[in-house]
Structure formats: C-alpha cells, structure tokens
Amino acid sequence: MALVTWSEKLSVGVKSIDDQHTVLFSIINDLHAAMMKGQARNVVGGLLKKLLDYTRNHFSAEEELMDKAQYQGLSEHKMLHRELTRQVEELIARYEKGDLTVTTGLADFLTNWLTSHIQKVDQAYGPWLNSHGVH
C-alpha cells in the first residue's frame, strides 16, 4: 500500500512539474514499501541518493521555468529548495556513517515536506507560469 498518492489537488497546473512530482512520490513510496518489508537497510542508501539526484534535477527544472517567466518568488523558492537539499544530504551523510536511525520517520518526513511544499509553495507559482505561457 502506498504511503502517499498523487492526486489532482496537488497539481501545480504545469504538466512537466506535475510529472516530476509524481516521480518523487514514487521514490518515497518505494522507500516506504522497503521499510514495511524490513528491507530498509538494504535500499535506503540507494533510494536517498536517487531522491537527492532527482530532486536536484527537479528543482533545477522548476527554477528554470520560474526564471524564464520572471516569477517574483523565485529567490525565496530557491532558498526552500536549498534547505531540503541540505536536509537530504545530511540524512545521506548520517546513513553513510552507519546511523541506521535515519530510516525512522524518513518516509513521513519526506511525504510531509513534499505535500506541504507543493500545496503551500509550488501551487503559488502555477498560475503565474500558466499566465506566462507555461502549461
């Protein structure tokens, strides 16, 4: 059973970004599934690195669209992106040092951050991008 499910209420109104968000949800669900099967130790490192790589690419694509549309909230948005990236890098470093407690609450943290970020921050730029020809 999936921890988090994509729905249209999470849409930002930009297909490429929505598609990327669904991939992020998939990575979180993969992590959750591994944890439920007791396989977190075997997969969490790889999934965290996959999440970090994909998140960096996603943030870059999102910021590029906002920059092209001259979105006024871009600098604040970038700061939020950098903070999440830093947090995931910190989790990876802890995991690589042998801290297996990283898995405790990890899926919930990521789910809460992602859904909150989409609903409170990303959905704010959707109408702006749409009004500037990005759909």
> In the chain, where are the structural domains located?
14-127
pLDDT tens digits, one per residue of 45-102: 888 889 899 999 999 999 999 999 999 999 999 999 999 999 989 988 988 898 878 8
The CA distance from 54 to 65, in Å, is 17
Q: Tell me the average pLDDT across 30-55.
A: 85
pLDDT at 131: 95
pLDDT at 92: 86
Q: Tell me the average pLDDT across 105-123.
A: 88
Q: What is the CATH number of domain 14-127?
A: 1.20.120.50
